[in-house]
Amino acid sequence: MIGVQEDLFSRCQRWRGGRASYRPAGELFDPSRARVEVLDDDATAKSFVTREHYSRSYPAARFRVGLFVKNPFEAEKLAGVAVMSVPITNAVIPAWFPGLEASQGVELGRFVLLDEVPANAESWFQARALKALKRAMPQIRAVVSYCDPVARTDTEGQVIFAGHVGTVYLAGNAARLGRSSPRTLKLLPSGHVASERALSKIRNDECGAGYALKQLIDAGAPARSLHESGRAYVERLEHERFFRPLRHPGNAVFGWRL
């Protein structure tokens, strides 16, 4: 395990088309060819994140920042997105930042850079994203972020996510806050995690159940029978072992006080 962590510390994770790649940590990024801009259009950030990030998902965003890069002889392009999102529950911010209320904090829900961006762009972009958040939303006093160390593979054994240890957060002066609760994940054949919230919508036939069902079928799940309840359908998938269980020890938790 020590060797694996040292290897992860020596590389910087990047994304392209839902697959992780890595840049050597010693690369130099040229900030004179880059700029950071607040993204007022949620659709732009969502399109980028769902296309490039392995989870193919987008959180409930409160603030979005883009990294724009102009390489020689090329048009400027969006090469990275940071999304500050609503934490999964109202208890998150008060738990990790005693004295603050839920409304005074956000989560760094997505931090995605394309595979072509050199390694040390992460800390440069992260620092400016936090500064932009502080200027635009002075009521926000804290940012929490989670680091997932557990690798994911598809059913063929191909690694789609190698896990990471939070190097960029530590480089950006984040504090180690602890670890989230352990849990068991349900993996789809692709290696992506089946959202428990989406499965709950299907079980209870809530608003959004149709979209959640389509996602499962697109992932290879059998169709729901004509008179089958949502709860019976999810139970059938579990009984037929459509999901692969993965015991997860919990994510490492990092945070910044602004």
Burial 170-197 (b: 16+ CB within 10 A, else e): eebebeebeebeeeebbbbebbbbbeee
- Contact in structure between 121 and 29 (CB atoms under 8 Å): yes
Which 8-state DSSP code applies to residue 89? S
Give the Cα separation of 176 and 18 in Å (integer): 28
- In this prediction, residues 131-153 reach a mean pLDDT of 95
Q: What is the pLDDT of residue 9?
A: 45
Enumerate the CATH 3.40.630.30 domain ranges in the chain, comma separated.
2-183+250-257
Range in 137-141, 149-153, 201-205 with the lowest mean pLDDT:
149-153
pLDDT one-digit tens code per residue, 54-76: 778 899 999 999 999 998 888 99
Mean pLDDT taken over the chain: 89
Q: Which residue has the higher pLDDT, 123 or 242?
A: 242
Q: What pLDDT was estimated at residue 7?
A: 45
pLDDT band of 4, cuts 50, 70, 90: very low
Side by side, the strands of the sheet bearing 61-69 are: 34-38, 61-69, 77-85, 105-113, 142-147, 252-257, 175-179
Tens-digit pLDDT profile for residues 11-56: 666 666 766 666 666 667 889 999 999 999 899 999 999 999 877 8
Per-residue confidence (pLDDT) for residue 159, from 0 to 100: 86
CB neighbours of residue 72 within 10 Å: 6
Q: Global pTM?
A: 0.77
Residue 1 has pLDDT above 70, yes or no: no
Q: Where do we find the tokens 């690694």?
A: 159
Report whether CATH 3.40.640.10 matches the domain 2-183+250-257. Answer: no
